[in-house]
Amino acid sequence: MAFEGLSQKLSAALSKLTSRGKLSEQVVKEGMREVRLALLEADVHYHVVKGFCQRLTERRVGQTVLESLSPGQQVIKIVHEEMTNLMGKENARLTWSSSVPTIYMLCGLQGAGKTTMAAKLAHYLQKTGKKPLLAACDIYRPAAIKQLQVVGEQARVPVYERGAQDPVQTAKEAVEYAHSYGLDVLIIDTAGRLHVDADLMDELRRLKAAVKPQEILFVVDAMTGQDAVNMAQSFDTELGIDGVILTKLDGDTRGGAALSIKAVVGKPIKFSGTGEKLNNIEPFHPERMAGRILGMGDVMTLIEKAQETFDLEQVEKLEKYGSNSLTLDDFLAQMQQMKKLGGMQSIMSMLPGIGNKLQNMEIDDNALKKPEAIIRSMTRRERRNPDILNASRRKRIAAGSGTTVQDVNALIRQFEQAKSMMKQMTGGRMRKMGRMGMPRF
């Protein structure tokens, strides 16, 4: 889980404040010291930590905090607000060119995940109705072009490449290609290096001058910590970046990059990568991220993911024909949609009050594999009419799915409970849940 270490330490420090009915100056001072140490250990820039704690101190000294009915909660509210401000207050959206195609140039060092992120961004924009094109302008890293073609094919986005041709010429031709084929977004995957050097920056400057991108987005691995801030500063000085994309935010990152980049470099974080799959990309919302770090959850992001994942047509069909129409095929479809949300670990980390307790819980993200195997071991007739599942059929299904008869029986009981739940949902309640994107089983 992202920021797990920082989240645990901040929660521990703040819990000492929330557990007290009244706060003295000494107690608050000790709490702020622990907050400072937690941020420094998370590799947040020293000057950022200093300014952050200074603002907290100035705000908590006031009578509002010390005399409030719930002073501990008031301190947490202040920490949340200041942390949100630190990361940019609100989501910084992409800007668009007045003429097509709108060009986004991705830059960064090798290993940051630029190529995969280019395809993720294209996939994300495609879902909003855009028609993106990917341009392969990394001619130095072995198999970089092939990798872009593979992920582009997975995203069903065309890739423009010209092999080892000068990347600047390839980018120019990609712009013309986009014009010719009515593609309104061009995402350029540029070369990276193991470190910042003159040759890399010279090529990027030539690319910028040639195609005049609407935005230059710096892609950086969130797990690099403070180095991410230093690299962002270097690229901004040489190129003038417009925003940042953090990758690998699903790892056990210390959080320094996310909390420091906006404050130090002055450029907003626009997106974050939260996994390996193409749909593992999220707009970066500072307020929501602050909530996750402080263990408050992120219900809004969970609902947005659910709205994209759950099939409203299927909900309306089940509501129209009633619980009697529910089959094990429908049950399997619902489990698959839950998997698309990122698994139970991801879902629970976004629920208020649960995220910081995950380290003490054993959550098996493969828990859905067993019921899926059981259902797939059934015949079409058995999935549509579970009432025919007698003892011999259940024994055969267990053998075919590598499970036990007890596992098969447990799945059937869960299925019957789901049907019972559906009977209670009348008057359009299921449709309402579908529109909200909430799970129904």
Per-residue pLDDT of the chain (441 residues; tens, 9 = 90+): 556 677 777 777 777 766 666 666 777 777 788 888 888 888 788 888 888 888 887 776 554 554 544 666 677 778 888 888 888 888 889 999 999 999 999 999 888 899 999 999 999 999 999 999 999 999 998 899 999 999 999 999 999 999 999 999 999 999 999 999 999 999 999 998 777 788 889 999 999 999 999 999 999 887 776 778 888 888 999 999 999 999 887 765 566 777 788 888 899 999 998 888 898 898 998 888 888 777 665 445 555 555 555 555 555 555 554 445 678 888 887 777 666 655 555 555 555 554 445 444 444 555 678 888 999 999 999 998 888 999 999 999 999 999 999 999 999 988 888 777 666 654 444 444 444 443 333
Burial class (CB in 10 A: 0-12, 13-18, 19+), 69: exposed
Which pLDDT score, from 0 to 100, does residue 424 have?
61
Do strands 185-190 and 132-137 pair parallel, antiparallel, or not at all (unpaired)?
Answer: parallel
Residue finishing a domain among 296, 326, 341: 296
Is 93 inside a domain boundary? Answer: no
Residue finishing a domain among 231, 265, 296: 296
Residues 364 and 288 in one domain: no
Residues 159 and 219 in one domain: yes
CA dist 241 → 215, 249, 255, 330 (Å): 7, 21, 21, 47
Residues 154 and 237 in one domain: yes
Residue finishing a domain among 253, 278, 296: 296
Is 94 inside a domain boundary? Answer: no
Residues 285 and 344 in one domain: no
The region, left, alpha or beta by phi > 0 then psi within -120 to 50, assigned to residue 78 is alpha
Is 96 inside a domain boundary? Answer: no
Residues 203 and 343 in one domain: no
Burial class (CB in 10 A: 0-12, 13-18, 19+), 97: middle
Residues 111 and 64 in one domain: no
Contact assessment for residue 175 and residue 161, using Cβ atoms and an 8 Å cutoff: no
Is the pTM above the cut of 0.75? no
Residues 310 and 278 in one domain: no
Is 10 inside a domain boundary? Answer: yes
Is 441 inside a domain boundary? Answer: no
Which pLDDT score, from 0 to 100, does residue 441 have?
31
Residues 314 and 431 in one domain: yes
Residues 237 and 379 in one domain: no
Residues 230 and 315 in one domain: no
Burial class (CB in 10 A: 0-12, 13-18, 19+), 373: middle
Cβ count within 10 A of residue 10: 24
Is 420 inside a domain boundary? Answer: yes
Domains in the chain, number: 3
Residues 317 and 403 in one domain: yes
Which pLDDT score, from 0 to 100, does residue 251 have?
63
Residues 191 and 159 in one domain: yes
Whole-angstrom Cα distance, residue 287 to residue 309?
A: 23
What SS3 state is found at 102? strand
Give the structural domain span for 328. Answer: 303-436
Is 56 inside a domain boundary? Answer: yes
